[in-house]
Amino acid sequence: MTFFIETLIGGLLAGTMYSLVAIGFVLIYKASGVFNFAQGAMLLFAALTFVSLREQGVPFAAALVLTVVVIAIGALAIERWILRPLVNRSQITLFMATLGLSFIVEGLAQGLMGAEVRALDLGIQDTPVMFGDIMVSHFDLVAAATATVLVTVLALLFNKTRVGVSLRAVADDTRAALSIGINLNRIWQIVWAVAGSVGLVAGLLWGARQGVQFSLSLVVLKALPVLIIGGFTSIGGAIVGGLIVGAAENLAEVYIGPFIGGGITPWFAYFIALAFLYVRPAGLFGERAIERV
C-alpha cells in the first residue's frame, strides 16, 4: 500500500507539470476560440531567453523580469500582426496560422540563441523528501506549489478584476462584448501576454528537469490529452486533467507495464483521452457547444 500511495502521489505531482502547459492553451482558447499550437514554441522561446540571459551573467531576478518583458512584447506583436488581420476567419485558418507561427518562433529562437542543449539550474534539488514511509520528490513538490500559486493568481485576476470580467464577457459572447464597448484587441493582448508568462513558468520547470532544448516545444503534445480530459475552456479542468494523466501514467507503467513489456507512458494518456471523446467529448469541465438551427 505504501508503494501504491508513493506511486500515486508521484504521478499527481508530475501531472501538475502537464497542467502548467495546458493552462496556456485554455487562456487563449477561452478568449479567442483559437487553439494556439504555438504555445510550445512560446514556452521554448521563453526558457531559451531566460537561460541565455543567465549565461551572460544577468542576475536571476533581472533575467526573469527581462524575459517577461520580451514575452509581453512578443504577445503584442502576435496580436497586432497575426490575430488582428485574421479576425472573423474560420477556426482552421486561425489554427494553421498558429501552426505556422510555431515554426517561425522556433526558427527565430534557433537563429538568435543557437540549437545546443542548455542546462538550467533553478536551485531546486530533485532529492527525495520523506513523509513517514512515503518518499516524494522535492522538485515535484515545488512544481505543484508553483502551479497552485499560479492558478490562485489567475483565479483572482479573472474573477476579481475588470480585465477578468471583460475576458469572461468575450468568452461568453464576442459580439455582445463588442457592443458594450469592450476592446477585443486589448483583451487578446493581455491574454497572450499572460499565456506567455504561464509558458515561461512551465518552460523553466520543464527545462530544469530535462534541459532547455528544442524537443521542449513538443511538450504541447502531452498537453492535448490533458485538455481533452479537463475541457478546453476551464483552468480548473486543466489542473484536474493534468492530475488524472500524471497519476494514470504512473500507475499504468507500474502495474500494467510488466504484463505488456513496459513503455506505457508515451501513449497511455492518449488512450484515456480517446475514451473521454467517446463518453464526454467536451471534457469534465468543458462547455458543450449548443447550436440553434
| Domain ranges within the chain, ordered by starting residue | 2-214
CB 32, CB 192: distance < 8 Å: no
pLDDT-above-70 percentage for the chain: 97
Count Cβ atoms within 10 A of the Cβ of residue 162 and give its class: 0-12 exposed, 13-18 middle, 19 or more buried. exposed
Cα–Cα distance for residue pair 198/207, rounded to 1 Å: 14
pLDDT class for 271, splitting at 50, 70, 90? very high
Question: Can you give the pLDDT at residue 111?
Answer: 85
CB 270, CB 31: distance < 8 Å: no
CB 217, CB 265: distance < 8 Å: no
**What Rg value do the Cα atoms of the chain yield, rounded?**
19
Amino acid letter at 80?
R
Please tell me the pTM assigned to this model: 0.87
> For 130, phi and psi rounded to 5 degrees?
-95, 130
Mean pLDDT of all residues in 151-169: 81
Would you say residue 178 has pLDDT above 80?
A: no
End-to-end CA distance of the chain: 54
Cα–Cα distance for residue pair 254/14, rounded to 1 Å: 15
pLDDT class for 248, splitting at 50, 70, 90? very high
Would you say residue 161 has pLDDT above 90?
A: no
Beta-ladder partners of 136: 129
**Least trusted range by pLDDT, from 46-60, 138-152, 160-174, 237-251:** 160-174
pLDDT class for 225, splitting at 50, 70, 90? very high
pLDDT class for 288, splitting at 50, 70, 90? low
Angle between helices 235-255 and 219-230 (to 10 degrees): 110
pLDDT class for 122, splitting at 50, 70, 90? confident
Best mean pLDDT range from 75-84, 234-243, 254-263, 278-287: 234-243
Helix (H) or strand (E) holding 130: strand 128-131
Question: Can you give the pLDDT at residue 62?
Answer: 94
Amino acid letter at 110?
Q
What the block records as the C-alpha cell of 223 is 498537453
Question: Can you give the pLDDT at residue 241?
Answer: 92
Q: Which residue has the higher pLDDT, 291 or 91?
A: 91
Report which DSSP code applies to 83.
I
Q: How confident is the model over 84-113, as pLDDT tens digits?
A: 788 777 778 888 888 899 999 988 888 888
Would you say residue 229 has pLDDT above 90?
A: yes
**Alpha-carbon dihedral angle through residues 124, 128, 132, 134, given to the nearest 10 degrees:** 120
Amino acid letter at 48?
L
3-class DSSP state of 118: strand
Best mean pLDDT range from 31-40, 193-202, 269-278: 269-278
pLDDT class for 245, splitting at 50, 70, 90? very high
Could you tell me which residues come within 8 angstroms of residue 230 by beta carbon, excluding any fewer than 6 positions away?
A: 22, 236, 237, 238, 239, 240, 241, 242, 244, 283, 284, 285, 286
What the block records as the C-alpha cell of 23 is 493552462
pLDDT class for 50, splitting at 50, 70, 90? very high
Could you tell me which residues come within 8 angstroms of residue 165 by beta carbon, excluding any fewer than 6 positions away?
A: none
